């Protein structure tokens, strides 16, 4: 199969069946290198729902996606065979069954020798995705985590697995190496100062919006730590300021700009990006596709990082 996006010069970008970046559909049995897969589940949100509609909305907005990166000077779709893997089956009213399906589905993609980018859905999905990636890698992963929130919070309403607790579980289950993990875009307010205890105790590198913006951006980018080994990126769209990403469940003002996250993603030096996710886009709260377009561009930057090796 020819894993190239449908040409916008032959078929106008408003035409054609909507897939991620106008790519062909394929599955784990195909010979592609990277599968982009939707996971339309938002059963673990604490506030505004709607992220279940993100995969279809991001497919729609990605009609405007293109493959050539101006600063990297190469076309991602010339380097790797990328396809739309369709959606992972989920159970909207049962998280346990959804977790099982997600871990199995993405585990099969990895064991067929492919990489994946999962498009959520809410951030609780990062846990079964990390379980699959950790099993495939056979060692704790480096984590690059973009978020307004720490996502190390305790159980809510007696439920352990909500969209604000994936990172605590990932550390406790040994899925990631905390001292080789970093967070970008963190900001308050928090429920209490003790919310920071977990990341401090485990030595996770936390970069707040102040850290990114206090000096000039290039100085900050030069200080980003580099780690060897298999790496996973999880991108919660609410790391962006609501001006750049209004369509999300738990927006927090004072966030990163789209340009800042682009520059951070371009500055990352990752030896082996095995898998990634992009979560928390909630189309019912979006305006003029601002959030979906930010998601598409972030997916493009992640694809470029994934194609580097
Ligand atoms: Mn968040
Ligand atoms: Mn999150």
Residues 223-250: pLDDT tens digits? 999 999 999 999 999 999 999 999 999 9
Cα 294 to its chain centre, rounded Å, is 12
9: in domain: no
Q: How far is the CA of 221 from the centre of ligand 1 (A)?
A: 22
8: in domain: no
146: in domain: yes
Residues 148-180: pLDDT tens digits? 999 999 999 999 999 999 999 999 999 999 999
Query: Which residues have beta carbons under 5 A from ligand 1 (an ion)?
Result: 147-149, 236, 238
Q: How far is the CA of 215 from the centre of ligand 2 (A)?
A: 26
14: in domain: no
* SS3 state of residue 250: coil
Q: How far is the CA of 111 from the centre of ligand 2 (A)?
A: 27
11: in domain: no
pLDDT band, residue 308 (cuts 50/70/90): confident
* Nearest C-alpha neighbor of 55 from the set 307, 280, 258: 280
CB of 51 closer than 8 Å to CB of 121: yes
Tally of domains within the chain: 1
CA–CA separation, 75 vs 136, rounded Å? 28
Q: How far is the CA of 248 from the centre of ligand 1 (A)?
A: 9
Query: Who's near 309: CB < 8 A, 6+ residues apart?
Result: 271, 272, 273
Q: Output the CA–CA distances (angstroms, integers) from residue 229 to 95, 140, 286, in the order listed.
A: 31, 9, 36
Q: Which domain holds residue 96?
A: 20-307
pTM score, whole prediction? 0.98
Q: How far is the CA of 113 from the centre of ligand 2 (A)?
A: 28
* Nearest C-alpha neighbor of 162 from the set 243, 308, 280: 280
Q: How far is the CA of 149 from the centre of ligand 1 (A)?
A: 5
Q: How far is the CA of 79 from the centre of ligand 1 (A)?
A: 32
13: in domain: no
What's the CATH number where 141 sits? 3.40.800.10
246: in domain: yes
Q: How far is the CA of 12 from the centre of ligand 1 (A)?
A: 35
4: in domain: no
């Amino acid at each position: 199969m020819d894993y190239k996006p449908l040409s916008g010069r032959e078929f106008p970008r408003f035409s054609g069946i909507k897939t991620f970046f106008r790519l062909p559909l394929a599955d784990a049995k195909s010979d592609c290198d990277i599968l982009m897969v939707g996971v339309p589940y938002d059963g673990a949100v604490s506030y505004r729902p709607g992220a279940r509609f993100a995969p279809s909305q991001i497919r729609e907005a990605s009609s405007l996606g293109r493959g050539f990166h101006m600063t990297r000077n190469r076309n991602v779709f010339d380097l790797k065979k990328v396809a739309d893997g369709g959606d992972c089956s989920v159970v909207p009213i049962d998280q346990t069954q959804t977790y099982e399906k997600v871990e199995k589905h993405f585990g099969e993609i990895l064991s067929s020798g492919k990489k994946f980018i999962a498009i959520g859905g809410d951030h609780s999905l990062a846990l079964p995705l990390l379980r699959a990636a950790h099993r495939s890698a056979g060692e704790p992963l480096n984590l690059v985590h973009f978020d307004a929130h720490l996502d190390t919070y305790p159980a809510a309403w007696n439920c352990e697995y909500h969209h604000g607790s994936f990172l605590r579980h990932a550390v406790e289950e040994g899925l990631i190496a905390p001292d080789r993990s970093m967070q970008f875009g963190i900001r308050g307010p928090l429920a209490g100062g003790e919310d920071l205890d977990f990341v401090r105790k485990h030595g996770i590198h936390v970069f707040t919006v102040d850290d990114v913006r206090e000096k000039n951006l290039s100085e900050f980018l030069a200080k980003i730590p580099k780690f060897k080994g298999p790496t996973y990126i999880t991108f919660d769209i609410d790391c962006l300021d609501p001006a750049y990403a209004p369509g999300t469940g738990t927006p927090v003002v004072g966030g990163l700009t789209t340009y800042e996250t682009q520059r951070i993603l371009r500055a990352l030096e990752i030896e082996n990006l095995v898998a990634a996710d992009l979560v928390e886009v909630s189309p019912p709260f979006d305006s003029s596709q601002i959030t979906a377009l930010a998601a598409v561009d972030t997916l493009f930057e992640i694809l470029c990082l994934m194609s580097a090796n």
